[in-house]
């Protein structure tokens, strides 16, 4: 009999037992089934070996050096068998693709771009202090900032802000000599040939620039001056030109006539009614006919002839032209040629 057996005989067999026939030792076990069979918790300062022959460990609870998927699972279960439904958090590393997949990860501080390189979030990543992207980030699907709501429109790839907020801003920061903006591109490569539209602010000159078709179209400087290429139009047309409206019958002026040239070719009369125009509204009238036409003062309206301060309806001879300006509520001044 060996010394180990003699020592075992001196102890309680329920604490330390030796199966000499099968070369097995039991701690807390009277019938050891392995070389060392421990019933209880093993505490050690270190372990030797690569653990490749370990068995009886729940799948998903280990990390190994082998290729493929390795996982760390954190669960709130205190008993029973862990299932996917019972998993509270899951980190899965795939050494073949060098990606770390995460579900339900909550970050208490600031999550930076460097922290999440090669992270594929299957679930939700929550950063209480914000997310900083200092490198180049890529979204392959839609993204939401400051909101948990999804857009009802499938083409909205970025949603910012929420209806619960009283204000939402997007801040683009650069140096005092730099420029910042938004670029609209339809190009598929890195060349600027696809940059069709731009909203850009140059901080050194305090100038805001709008580009369309790849060309600067509107500029606004820091003093409020604005320049534009091409035509500038409103609901009546080009602001450099008067909108011309042709009339061949008697006509009552309407609010939309402000800023227009009314052309008569049949000796028609023009009536100005009250409560139609506002101060500053201006209408021009040209009598292209061979007959007289009248500019009629409607009820509640004062029409003043600037030539002699007389009030009332004016007559304009053929080929005459006049301008009528609303100077106050229902007060108009008329001036021009061929008026009487």
Domain at 285, CATH number: 2.60.120.640
Q: Are residues 219 and 247 in the same domain?
A: no
Give strand pairing partners of 304: 311, 333
pLDDT at residue 65 in the model:
42
Question: Residue 54 falls within a domain, yes or no?
Answer: no
pLDDT at residue 64 in the model:
47
CA distance 306 to 203: 50
Residue pair 270/248 in contact by the 8 Å Cβ criterion: no
Question: Residue 207 falls within a domain, yes or no?
Answer: yes
pLDDT at residue 63 in the model:
46
Question: Residue 52 falls within a domain, yes or no?
Answer: no
How does pLDDT run along the chain (340 residues), one tens digit per residue?
Answer: 444 555 545 456 677 888 888 888 888 888 888 888 888 888 878 777 766 676 665 544 444 444 455 555 555 555 555 555 555 566 666 777 766 666 666 655 555 545 555 455 555 555 555 555 555 555 556 777 778 777 788 888 788 888 888 999 889 899 999 999 998 888 776 666 778 899 999 999 999 999 998 889 999 999 999 988 888 887 777 777 788 999 999 999 999 999 999 999 999 999 999 999 999 999 999 999 999 999 999 999 999 999 999 999 999 999 999 999 999 999 999 999 999 9
- Among candidate residues 130, 147, 164, the one where a domain is terminated: 147
Question: Residue 319 falls within a domain, yes or no?
Answer: yes
Question: Residue 60 falls within a domain, yes or no?
Answer: no
Q: Are residues 222 and 241 in the same domain?
A: no
Question: Residue 304 falls within a domain, yes or no?
Answer: yes
Give the H/E segment covering residue 101: strand 99-103
Q: Report helix, strand or coil for 75.
A: strand
CA distance 207 to 215: 16
Number of domains in the chain: 4
Question: Residue 322 falls within a domain, yes or no?
Answer: yes
Residues of the domain holding 12:
3-38
233: DSSP letter: E
**Pairing mode, if any, of strands 260-264 and 243-247?**
parallel
Q: Are residues 267 and 305 in the same domain?
A: yes
Question: Residue 103 falls within a domain, yes or no?
Answer: yes
Q: Are residues 243 and 332 in the same domain?
A: yes
Name residue, tokens 């800023």: 259
Q: Are residues 317 and 253 in the same domain?
A: yes
Q: Are residues 96 and 187 in the same domain?
A: no
CA dihedral 77, 79, 81, 87 (to 10 degrees): 0
Spell out the residues 6+ positions from residue 209 whose beta carbon is closer than 8 angstroms to its own: 181, 198, 199, 200, 201, 202, 216, 218, 219
pLDDT at residue 144 in the model:
78
């Amino acid at each position: 009999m060996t010394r180990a057996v003699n020592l075992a005989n001196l102890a309680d067999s329920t604490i330390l037992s030796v199966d000499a026939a099968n070369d097995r030792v039991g701690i807390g076990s009277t019938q050891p089934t392995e070389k060392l069979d421990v019933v209880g918790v093993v505490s050690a300062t270190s372990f030797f070996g690569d653990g490749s022959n370990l068995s009886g460990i729940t799948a998903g609870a280990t990390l190994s050096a082998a290729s493929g998927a390795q996982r760390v699972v954190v669960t709130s279960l205190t008993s029973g068998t862990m299932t996917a439904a019972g998993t509270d958090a899951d980190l899965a590393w795939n050494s073949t693709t060098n990606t770390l997949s995460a579900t339900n990860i909550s970050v208490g501080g600031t999550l930076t771009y460097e922290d999440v390189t090669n992270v594929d979030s299957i679930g939700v990543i929550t950063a209480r202090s914000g997310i900083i992207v200092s490198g180049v980030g890529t979204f392959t699907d839609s993204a939401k900032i400051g909101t948990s709501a999804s857009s009802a429109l499938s083409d909205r790839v970025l949603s910012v802000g929420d209806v619960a907020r009283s204000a939402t801003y997007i801040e683009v920061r650069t140096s005092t000599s730099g420029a910042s903006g938004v670029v609209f591109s339809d190009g598929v490569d890195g060349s600027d040939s696809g940059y069709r539209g731009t909203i850009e602010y140059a901080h050194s000159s305090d100038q805001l620039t709008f580009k369309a078709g790849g060309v600067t179209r509107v500029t606004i400087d820091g003093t409020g001056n604005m320049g534009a290429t091409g035509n500038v139009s409103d609901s009546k047309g080009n602001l450099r030109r008067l909108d011309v409206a042709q009339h061949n019958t008697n006509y009552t002026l309407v609010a939309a006539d402000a800023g227009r040239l009314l052309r008569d070719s049949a000796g028609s009369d023009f009536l100005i009614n009250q409560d139609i125009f506002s101060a500053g509204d201006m209408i021009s009238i040209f009598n292209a006919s061979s007959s007289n036409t009248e500019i009629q003062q409607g009820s509640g309206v004062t029409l003043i002839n600037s030539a002699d301060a007389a009030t009332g309806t004016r007559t304009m001879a053929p080929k005459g032209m006049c301008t009528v300006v609303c100077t106050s509520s229902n007060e108009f001044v008329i001036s021009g040629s061929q008026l009487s």
